[in-house]
């Protein structure tokens, strides 16, 4: 069967500094397979599929594609948080219709657990409808929450190494700030992403593996009352004169005036109150045992789009995972996610494998309890050994022109629209 069919790549959920490296891996690798025709990028993920907005990535210059390595977040083809619920049958049928209209034989879905589930469902429906669609997942998330808790489906997700590196650097420089300014600002609270899973705040420990800083790390998985937290911080102040606190956005401090996204997840960046602010307010309200006041930083999305802190290891792995997914797709292996598995032994070494989408979709990773220290506000050396190789060694060098970063700018070349207009079901009034 020498049929040439086209490929659609779509992204879903929050971006990372390396999501575009997976995209680049897909675009560049697809050129090597005769069976793959045009590579389209769904504009804003599944929304772009439903709206038949398919950016022609094969028509873009090699330079712009290569620059994806240094272009953070998802501005190039776009992402979304559109939830394809099982009862949205019109949406599912529309997706199949769009794929049929554009001779799409391959769907590569870059995302987290929810996305793997969506990709799996679409592939099954396509099969039912007699459309030969190969669906392959490409893992992506800064939270490192894709897969299982035993690291057997996947060792770590592309995106995590870079945000871990971000926190390594942020805590190093914040410690200089706190050490210098402690007579006025003895407590510096920094809020990390990751909702209910603590891999991101845990990465703060990479800044100080020898435990020389007055650093306290609070994961959502290791809850305590604000009063207990304040006791620990104040003890640190009495002994060190200062304290750097890294806390998860999902740490339970009571009501935050929560705003939910379409997946029902809390949008911590949109809530009425942040955890960081709640902690600062509580500490200042009960009073510190020294002069000065607590202050807080809430970097928010910055941690998922600060290109300069991207891990070179993460960038390379994200690219390779994209390649692996194309390889699986070209081989007709539908229903799998490309994955990264760590080889045993003390020297960091990985291999690229595949794992069934359905298995990923039904699994839920948690932060290993044994990696939280008995104190409840630190993580163990075992975590450091796990995370350290992922952040890489050297800083990457960003291409700049006249001081500013040079980032991918795709030409707005879209596939011709062949179907009638369509409003995604969840977007209808």
For a copy of itself, the binding residues in 82-111 under the rule CB under 8 A are 82
Q: Which of 182, 296, 285 is nearest to 239 (CA)?
A: 182
Binders of a copy of itself: how many residues, by CB under 8 A?
85
DSSP-assigned beta bridge partners for residue 352: 340
For a copy of itself, the binding residues in 264-293 under the rule CB under 8 A are 267, 269-270, 272-274, 277, 280-281, 284, 291, 293
Name which of 146 and 187 has its Cβ closer to a copy of itself.
187
Q: How many residues would you count in the chain?
A: 429
> Which of the stretches 108-116, 131-139, 224-232, 388-396 binds a copy of itself when contact is defined by CB under 8 A?
388-396
CA 211 distance to own-chain centroid: 28
**Is residue 254 a contact point for a copy of itself (CB under 8 A)?**
no
**Is residue 407 a contact point for a copy of itself (CB under 8 A)?**
yes
What separation in angstroms does the CA of 96 have from each of 7, 89, 124? 13, 11, 11
**Is residue 174 a contact point for a copy of itself (CB under 8 A)?**
yes
**Is residue 195 a contact point for a copy of itself (CB under 8 A)?**
no
Residue 92 tokens read as 């599912």
To the query of whether residue 143 is one of the catalytic residues in this protein, the response is: yes
Residue 284 tokens read as 């200042």
> Which of the stretches 95-103, 136-144, 260-268, 351-359 binds a copy of itself when contact is defined by CB under 8 A?
260-268
**Is residue 69 a contact point for a copy of itself (CB under 8 A)?**
no
Name which of 150 and 176 has its Cβ closer to a copy of itself.
176
| Residues near 195 by beta carbon (within 8 Å), at least 6 away in sequence | 143, 220, 248, 249, 250, 265, 266, 268
Name which of 69 and 324 has its Cβ closer to a copy of itself.
69
**Is residue 76 a contact point for a copy of itself (CB under 8 A)?**
yes
Phi-psi region of 244 (alpha: psi -120 to 50; beta: other; left: phi over 0): beta
Q: Which one of the listed residues 56, 117, 143, 314 is annotated catalytic? A: 143
Other CB atoms within 10 A of residue 212 CB: 9
**Is residue 309 a contact point for a copy of itself (CB under 8 A)?**
yes
Name which of 149 and 277 has its Cβ closer to a copy of itself.
277
Interior CA angle at 22 toward 399 and 424, to 5°? 115
What separation in angstroms does the CA of 48 have from each of 6, 43, 88, 326, 328? 16, 4, 16, 20, 24
For a copy of itself, the binding residues in 11-30 under the rule CB under 8 A are 11, 14-15
List active site positions. 143
């Amino acid at each position: 069967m020498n049929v040439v069919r086209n490929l659609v790549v779509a992204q879903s959920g929050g971006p990372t500094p390396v999501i575009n490296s997976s995209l680049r891996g897909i675009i560049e690798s697809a050129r090597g397979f005769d069976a793959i025709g045009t590579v389209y990028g769904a504009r804003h993920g599944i929304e772009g599929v439903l709206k038949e907005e398919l950016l022609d990535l094969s028509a873009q210059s090699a330079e712009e594609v290569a620059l994806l390595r240094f272009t953070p977040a998802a501005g190039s083809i776009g992402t979304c948080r559109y939830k394809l619920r099982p009862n949205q049958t019109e949406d599912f049928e529309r997706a199949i219709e769009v794929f049929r209209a554009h001779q799409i034989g391959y769907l590569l879905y870059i995302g987290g657990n929810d996305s793997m589930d969506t990709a799996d469902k679409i592939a099954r429906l396509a099969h039912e409808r007699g459309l030969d669609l190969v669906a392959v997942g490409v893992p992506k998330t800064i939270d490192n929450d894709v897969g299982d808790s035993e690291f057997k489906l996947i060792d770590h997700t592309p995106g995590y190494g870079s945000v871990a590196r971000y926190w390594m650097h942020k805590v190093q420089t914040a410690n200089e700030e706190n050490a210098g300014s402690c007579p006025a600002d003895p407590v510096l609270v920094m809020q990390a992403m990751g909702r209910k899973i603590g891999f991101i705040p845990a990465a703060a420990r990479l800044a100080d593996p020898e435990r020389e800083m007055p650093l306290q790390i609070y994961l959502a998985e290791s809850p305590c009352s604000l009063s207990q937290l304040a006791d620990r911080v104040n003890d640190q102040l009495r002994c060190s004169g200062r304290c750097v606190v890294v806390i998860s956005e999902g740490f339970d401090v009571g009501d935050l005036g929560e705003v939910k996204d379409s997946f029902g997840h809390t949008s911590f960046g949109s809530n009425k109150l942040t955890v960081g602010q709640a902690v600062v307010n509580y500490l200042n309200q009960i009073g510190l045992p020294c002069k000065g006041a607590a202050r807080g930083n809430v970097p928010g999305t910055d941690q998922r789009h600060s290109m300069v802190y991207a891990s070179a290891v993460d960038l390379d792995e994200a690219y390779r995972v994209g390649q692996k997914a194309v390889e699986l797709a070209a081989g007709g292996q539908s229903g799998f996610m490309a994955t990264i598995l760590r080889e045993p032994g003390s020297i960091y070494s990985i291999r690229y494998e595949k794992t069934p989408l359905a298995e990923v979709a039904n699994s839920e990773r948690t932060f290993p309890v044994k990696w939280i220290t008995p104190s409840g506000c630190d993580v163990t050396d075992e975590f450091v050994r796990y995370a350290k190789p992922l952040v890489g060694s050297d800083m990457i060098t960003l291409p700049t022109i006249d001081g500013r970063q040079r980032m991918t700018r795709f030409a707005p070349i879209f596939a011709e629209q062949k179907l009638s207009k369509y409003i995604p079901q969840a977007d209808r009034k």
